[in-house]
Chain A
């Protein structure tokens, strides 16, 4: 308890109290205008690590969401191409069943051979499918056509992948030689088919039916794989979206200001500031000297 309170000390007290209230108003003002509770890390140093982790987490999830979309585009293109190839193989099988029948003439078989040659051209065009500058059946060498004019595979034997998360990835570019020339070589089979048709060899033509079945299955394995991977990408998109919401919510609760509370506080501080100014004015005039 102070014994004496001087006129000067009273004014100084009012001055420092007003200045402190002014500083508080400026702080709350900045919080309201930026929407952030933590304006500088030093406001809450212990939150630094969590803030950085949350911001990083959101950035990571955005990146993986983009990757998922990119992977889905590539996989969808691959699926279209493989389905196209399977349709061609199916057509080849149908032709083999028909032309394996002894009732067909040599001319009819030679005419069919022309169609098969065209099918081979279409098939190689599918194997050379390009999407957004990437040859999707060239493996890691996706910057150039995997099949040359002589139908030889010149691509990479390593698959191209995209990460969907920190730990998971999917193939977005297959080794074409595995897809089309794995256990069963679709180009070789078509060549054999053409040779058999030109030679009017119905037995060899019939023998190719099971081979086309096997090729169909071989392509179907990849189509199934793509389907599974596309499902994974869709799941990951959902996951990254919900994770982003979760992380953003947490970041908001750590970093952002409660506007209702801040505006109420601002209003209280304004009243306080006004009172301080009035008190200062009154204190200034309350002096015995002014009454002498």
Chain B
């Protein structure tokens, strides 16, 4: 073997060790980067040289850089992101509704209703008493105010959801375009370290989209990713489709995927943050619908009975509550005429309207016992309680979903980490290995160079 070949082999060794150190450097630098897949370098013996019937080694060379990842795990993570973020957003948002209903607090719906009924009962003890009458109107007003307040909060929440979702549309479309652009750049680049970096960046973008709307991804052999949303391609190769925001006739957000043949309604397939927000929007709507039902049915029955009685002046009663049919909950209030004159409370059952006549009050109190809601299943109080129970159930369900999906995604992340994660100890050992290899190659080079020098002096 000639000294020149030895120098060449040592040079190859230096190059491989140097590239190995470079890989270790890249890995350690990205040890905490989200979505980074560790690189490994594969080196091999350089092709030998045949001379005089012998095969002479030419050192080592870098064969390839591998990006350590598992397609199944990556796909599952993308899928789980959508489910977990949806449950998390829904849980946090609906929990906020539960806090607003403030169970057990003085201003809460059920407590407000209870105080109103208590005042009504107290008035039966002294139906003509002005203070008791004022107290009844105050408690009725407190109750209607708490219903209104919850209604306005729900309206605000829904409006915020609409605005959030509409504003985030451009973010999603920009992400889709960016994924398509990364696909294009990956297709154009060769299988190098930079290619792997592009794939990592693209996969991180896909995870971001999944966190927002929930998508699934398919990877092809040429490293191209196709992103599916609700079964429809959102990004395919270097092309992407836009999502657009709209609202239906009652103001509920709807989402369309733009295709060449028109728009596809993909609202039902929403997951991620959008899906969670839409769940919260629907929970708010369910609450509003329930409260609207309560206000309409309870007020109508109460007003009808109140009108059957007689006030302290012997006149037939008017409306006790008022509301408008377009927004019953947020317009629910005590009749303004009644508020201005406590004598107008129709407690008496006869036009003689004796001071202590409580006949109509008894009938008004009976309404509290009438199962008028949910096809005769609930009394007014039970119906209000069921609103709390339903909401609490929704919060608990979403919390359970959130915990379940968090466990799933944590397991997947652990699995991903075991495959793609950077272990600093392992990198440190590789660094020592490459360092030793580099030092050895350098030593061979130095010795070969000295020998060659001595040989040259002989000339």
The one of A40, A56, A140 that contacts B354, using a Cβ cutoff of 8 Å: A140
A8 touches B417 (CB 8 A): yes
Choose among B386, B392, B422 the residue with the greatest number of A CB atoms under 10 Å from its CB: B392
Inter-chain CA distance A235–B391, complex, in Å, is 41
Inter-chain CA distance A289–B388, complex, in Å, is 56
**A163 touching B356 in the complex, CB below 8 Å, given contacts A8-B421, A40-B98, A48-B392:** no
**Chain A residues in 8 Å Cβ range of B393:** 42, 45
Which segment of B58-66, B424-432, B441-449 sits at the interface? B424-432
**Chain A residues in 8 Å Cβ range of B262:** none
B121 touches A163 (CB 8 A): yes
CB distance from A271 to the nearest CB of B (A): 24
Which segment of B123-131, B169-177, B327-335 sits at the interface? B123-131
A70 touches B125 (CB 8 A): yes
Q: Does A6 contact B (CB under 8 A)?
A: yes
**Chain B residues in 8 Å Cβ range of A13:** 414
Q: Does B118 contact A (CB under 8 A)?
A: yes
Inter-chain CA distance A142–B128, complex, in Å, is 9
**A289 touching B392 in the complex, CB below 8 Å, given contacts A63-B121, A158-B354, A173-B356:** no
CB distance from B336 to the nearest CB of A (A): 27
Residues of A203-229 contacting chain B, CB below 8 A: none
Q: Residue on A with the closest CB to B38? A: A6
A42 touches B410 (CB 8 A): no
Inter-chain CA distance A13–B410, complex, in Å, is 9
Q: Does A141 contact B (CB under 8 A)?
A: yes
Contact with B along A48-78 (1 / 0, CB 8 A): 1101110110010001000100100000000
**Chain A residues in 8 Å Cβ range of B428:** 287-289, 292
Q: Does A143 contact B (CB under 8 A)?
A: yes
Contact with A along B124-168 (1 / 0, CB 8 A): 111011000000000000000000000000000000000000000
**Chain B residues in 8 Å Cβ range of A292:** 428, 431-432
Q: Residue on A with the closest CB to B393? A: A45
Q: Does A9 contact B (CB under 8 A)?
A: yes
Inter-chain CA distance A169–B412, complex, in Å, is 68
A63 touches B395 (CB 8 A): no
CB distance from B114 to the nearest CB of A (A): 6
Inter-chain CA distance A43–B425, complex, in Å, is 43
Q: Does B31 contact A (CB under 8 A)?
A: yes
CB distance from A128 to the nearest CB of B (A): 15
B425 touches A40 (CB 8 A): no
The one of A49, A133, A289 that contacts B389, using a Cβ cutoff of 8 Å: A49
Contact with A along B389-400 (1 / 0, CB 8 A): 101110110010
Q: Does B110 contact A (CB under 8 A)?
A: yes
B118 touches A63 (CB 8 A): yes
A41 touches B122 (CB 8 A): no
Inter-chain CA distance A211–B428, complex, in Å, is 119
**A40 touching B103 in the complex, CB below 8 Å, given contacts A63-B118, A163-B121, A163-B124:** yes
For A, the interface residue count at a CB cutoff of 8 angstroms equals: 46
Q: Residue on A with the closest CB to B362? A: A163
Q: Does B55 contact A (CB under 8 A)?
A: no
Inter-chain CA distance A285–B31, complex, in Å, is 16
Residues of A100-146 contacting chain B, CB below 8 A: 133-134, 139-144
A158 touches B425 (CB 8 A): no
A45 touches B356 (CB 8 A): no
For B, the interface residue count at a CB cutoff of 8 angstroms equals: 52
B418 touches A3 (CB 8 A): yes
Inter-chain CA distance A143–B358, complex, in Å, is 14
CB distance from A153 to the nearest CB of B (A): 14
Contact with A along B369-394 (1 / 0, CB 8 A): 00000000000011001101101110
The one of A6, A48, A49, A134 that contacts B126, using a Cβ cutoff of 8 Å: A134
Contact with B along A162-203 (1 / 0, CB 8 A): 110000000001000000000000000000000000000000
A40 touches B392 (CB 8 A): yes
Inter-chain CA distance A115–B114, complex, in Å, is 56
Q: Does A16 contact B (CB under 8 A)?
A: yes
B355 touches A6 (CB 8 A): no
A41 touches B389 (CB 8 A): yes
A160 touches B424 (CB 8 A): no
B424 touches A143 (CB 8 A): no
B356 touches A160 (CB 8 A): yes
Inter-chain CA distance A6–B432, complex, in Å, is 18
A56 touches B381 (CB 8 A): yes
A156 touches B356 (CB 8 A): yes
Q: Residue on A with the closest CB to B104? A: A55
Q: Residue on B with the closest CB to A156? A: B354
**Chain A residues in 8 Å Cβ range of B202:** none
**Chain A residues in 8 Å Cβ range of B431:** 292
Q: Does B95 contact A (CB under 8 A)?
A: yes
Q: Does B415 contact A (CB under 8 A)?
A: yes
**Chain A residues in 8 Å Cβ range of B391:** 41-42
B356 touches A7 (CB 8 A): no
CB distance from B135 to the nearest CB of A (A): 13
Q: Residue on A with the closest CB to B350? A: A158
Inter-chain CA distance A179–B289, complex, in Å, is 55
A6 touches B418 (CB 8 A): yes
Q: Does B423 contact A (CB under 8 A)?
A: yes
Q: Would you list 19 pairs from A and B whose C-beta atoms are within 8 A, ordered by A residue? A: A2-B414, A2-B418, A4-B423, A7-B424, A8-B422, A9-B414, A40-B95, A40-B99, A41-B389, A42-B98, A48-B385, A53-B385, A67-B125, A140-B358, A143-B356, A156-B354, A158-B356, A287-B424, A289-B425
Using a CB–CB cutoff of 8 Å, the interface residues on chain B facing chain A are 28, 31-32, 95, 98-99, 103-104, 110, 114, 118, 121-122, 124-126, 128-129, 354-358, 381-382, 385-386, 388-389, 391-393, 395-396, 399, 410, 413-415, 417-419, 421-426, 428-429, 431-432
